[in-house]
Structure 1
């Protein structure tokens, strides 16, 4: 698919992301956090979502031509028109998904995501091969939303019934703060996509998407098995602060052990990964993937602050942090206007890393955890991961004779994985063992167990 077509669809997705924030309006998080809830409240909240989705979709359609002109992206309107159908369908899923999360039904949610991804992906690829271009991806988006809605309602999360909208007001009050935080998060995290298409054109946005999408998918998957799973548990412990802090330490340990090797290896192998995934069409995207991946683990850990603040009923503080991030993003993007894509992404990533450190100060003040304890937990895994990174980059010239990127990826990945495991066992074997037990649920290999004493 030409870069321009991918760039147009990516621009449409950036607009859809804003529409989704308005349509969901924070009520899903409010459902997870609420101490008591009933079918009438859930029904009223679902009606709010559907109503907002209709208003937002209509507004996007009415102003789509002006948006297309503003972004300098001719051809955006028809793609956006199809993709907006997904917003309407997703509005039926926000509250049911939150109920399933609240009830701990993560296995079904994971299965739902897998099935929707496989089926919609197959259809999208088929349509692309038939020459539908960006419209094939828009159709894939709609089909994913439809399968998702069917599967979450298949579990009958609650029994819908007539309800006054006033019944949802307690959720709306909490959700409004979550909504504001997410809007600020969008400005801080995804406004770069609209900036790139407006400043450099759809082809440049396509290159950014190729470099960032693998990272984004991994971030979503790992957060789904760590942070999303932790949120209901944190909410239940909100009134027991020592237990909450201890749960955070355990979650940090697991996430650090899992996230650092994955993201740092992703960055170290960026040249091979982008070549295999995109070929010549993705030349240059490795320079996008590298800085994003190296900061990925730190950003994932930073997300715990927002999760904790929501769990203890302080979304307003999370909103302040997101506000700082949004302001910094606007400043950085303005300062790098007219620069190369790689320069923009690097400056953007560094600003996020700095603000991530600041956010922990807010979390410590509100929740009461120890920054020294968190640093002690993270350091062995971070150090091991960056030793792995150094080994991969040092050995890359020596595996150039392997020719194709795939064998280089396999060899360098195996070496990097061995370096990480050996280093992590040396620096903190017991923590590595606990992480492996948590992830696999099986007996730890003897060669690892023997070092974890």
Structure 2
């Protein structure tokens, strides 16, 4: 691993590609692998055998397994949203929504791009760089754990959830478990071992759903949600360490930290702004329209489950795939991008329009309500998903070529404008908030 003239990292020599049947088989058939099935590049040395698997096949299989994990994650969230809408009080349900939102922000803050830097570099094994990244992340975890404990009263005050402070203080346990898992978890993506990753995800999500619903049946109310999360994150932490065979060693090397952070800080900025772009609306609606806050969450769930799950699964494969194919040069990268864009468009546009047409039936079936506000909001968000999906293919390419700063510059302008507009229109209802999403997509 060396530094280039600009101080950025030059990755270890590696290459790989992506495919995606259905959105999958066409990837393999459309040229990411040649007519004889030859890969665009060799796999990592430790994975290659006498008859190394083609990059297209590896990425195709990776997408399938990534879908398994993503499906259980989104399906569990959708199931809980539907069941708890019928069993929890309005206030407890708002607590559930806020816990999901706040946890999402903490999970993204815990990485600071270190895991993405390890994927970008394409090393193999649990090297000193991995241990240094883990050690650095422990420091971040400690800071965020303390912060989450003391910020709990501010969260409940902001979202008008008086009396629930201790539940949000319990998020400290979730933050610690997530911080201990973040770096080992990134090793699944680096090696494109999505089969093992899917097994861990399924176990985590089934545990969370089972514990949550069991406690709800026992009458534990909003505490059921946070205790279910703690149970799920505990399983995630234990199984990730076991499957990856991660043995932590505290290591600190300032040179390595600087090398990793040269890429990671741009990735962290991109991730933070991306999170705000996709989920900043909850911050606005939760404060400005608390009466419509649960309805907005419900309207978001179905498009997120159908569109978001597939696009996130694809993104999980595209980033390491682009990182591996990078050594093949600009032509190979360009061809891979065009194919990814075509496949995303073929999926997201018809599915988004279909979801908009089925919004009324979907809301009624899932939540037992046919609120016109929820239906209109879901329709607009579904159409928005048609456009947002195209950004997944291009964003991952920029990450893989070491230019996440481009996305930072774009989003640093767009995100404040979007959130400002949402803040202004939110008092008029969540339909207007969704409209801002569509206009700024």
Distance 1:204 1:132 in 2: 24
Pairing 1:331–2:398 present: no
Deviation larger for 155-164 or 135-144:
155-164
C-alpha displacement at 1:199, in angstroms?
0.9
5+ residue gaps, structure 2, are: 1-87
Write out aligned runs for 1:188-207 (5 A).
Answer: 188-201=277-290, 203-207=291-295
Tell me which residue corresponds to 2:118. 31
Decide whether the 8 Å contact of 1:267 with 1:290 is kept in 2: yes
Cα distance in 1 between the residues matched to 2:227 and 2:410 = 36
**After the TM superposition, which residues 113-124 of structure 1 pair with which residues of structure 2 at under 5 Å, given as runs?**
113-124=201-212
Provide the secondary structure at the position in 2 that maps to 1:163. Answer: coil
User: Are residue 235 (structure 1) and residue 323 (structure 2) matched?
Assistant: yes
Say whether 1:154 aligns with 2:245. Answer: no
1:75-111 Cα offsets, whole Å, 9 max, x none, are 3422212233212111122112211111010122222
The equivalent of 2:154 in structure 1 is 66
Corresponding residue for residue 341 of structure 1: 430
Residue 268 of structure 2: SS of its match in structure 1?
Answer: helix
- What is the CA–CA distance in structure 2 between the aligned matches of 1:308 and 1:324, rounded to whole Å? 21
Distance of 1:261 and 1:151 partners within structure 2? 37
Q: Is the 8 A contact 1:25 1:178 kept in 2?
A: yes
Counterpart for residue 36 of structure 2: none
> Which is richer in helix?
1
- Give the aligned partner of residue 23 of structure 2: none
Query: For residues 291 and 97 of structure 1, do their structure 2 counterparts lie closer, same or farther at Cα, with a shift above 3 Å needed?
Result: same
Shift of residue 323 of structure 1? 1.2
Deviations 1:287-339 (A, max 9, x none): 22211112213212212222111100001111112212212212312331421
**Separation in 2 of the partners of 1:4 and 1:349?**
29
Check 1:161–1:74 CA distance in 2 against 1; reply closer, same or farther (3 A cut). same
Match of 2:347 in 1: 258
Output aligned runs, 1:1-400, within 5 Å.
Answer: 1-36=88-123, 39-156=127-244, 158-166=246-254, 167-201=256-290, 203-239=291-327, 240-280=329-369, 284-352=373-441
Instruction: Give runs of aligned pairs for residues 373-452 of structure 1, distance below 5 A.
Output: none
SS at match of 2:428: coil
The 8 Å contact of residues 9 and 79 in structure 1, kept in 2 or not, is answered as no
Could you list the per-position Cα deviations for residues 140-160 of structure 1 after superposition, in whole angstroms to 9, with x for gaps in the alignment? 222221222222222225543
Listed one character per residue, the Cα deviations across residues 257-278 of structure 1 (whole Å, up to 9, x for unaligned) are 3333333322221111111111
Query: 1:35: how far off?
Result: 4.2
Residue 114 (structure 1) shift: 2.1
* Partner Cα distance (1:342, 1:311) in 2: 36
- The alignment partner of 1:92 has SS state of helix
Match of 1:449 in 2: none
* Offset at residue 220 of structure 1 (A): 4.0
Aligned CA distance change for structure 1 residues 141 and 27 (closer, same or farther; 3 Å): same
- CA–CA separation in structure 1 for the residues paired with 2:147 and 2:248: 28
RCO higher in structure (CA 8 A, sep ≥6): 2
How high is the TM-score relative to the length of structure 1? 0.73
Report how far residue 165 of structure 1 moved: 4.5
